[in-house]
Homo-oligomer: A and B are copies of this chain.
Amino acid sequence: MLIELDYKDRRPIYEQVTEKLASMMMLGVLEENSQLPSVRSMAVALSINPNTIQRAYAELERQGYIYSVKGKGSFVTDTSKMRAFRQKEARKKVTEAASEAVRLGLSEQEILEAAKEGMKQTGGKEYD
């Protein structure tokens, strides 16, 4: 079985499913563009309602991990697209934070310095 549920876990089922699948994709256990089990088959395998799996898949799609096509199935997002998705989100957060800072009266310089401070951890941008 692809994943297992923990009923001692206080978190909702859909959240457990979401997290476990996300983890498997991050670790490369599920290959990019490969098809995930259908909401129904997975629901049967875990003895729960299909709608709960549907919710987990919807959440994974919202977070950019998978993409779903009506009538076809749900698939693991390419790692390159996934990276783009997450970067877009991160960029948006920077923009919003700067916007809020302006609204509260911080100067341009102060904001840019705050951003630079955040960028300089661990030696900045070193790739391997």
Contact = CB atoms under 8 A, between A and B. Distances in A.
A111 interface: yes
Contacts of A86: 104
Given A91-B106, A104-B86, A99 B119 contact: yes
A-side binding surface: helix, strand, loop or mixed?
A: helix
Contacts of A83: 104-105
A44 interface: no
24 contacts: A83-B104, A87-B101, A90-B97, A90-B101, A90-B106, A91-B106, A91-B110, A93-B100, A94-B97, A94-B101, A95-B115, A97-B97, A98-B115, A98-B116, A98-B117, A98-B118, A99-B119, A100-B118, A101-B119, A102-B119, A102-B121, A103-B124, A107-B125, A112-B115
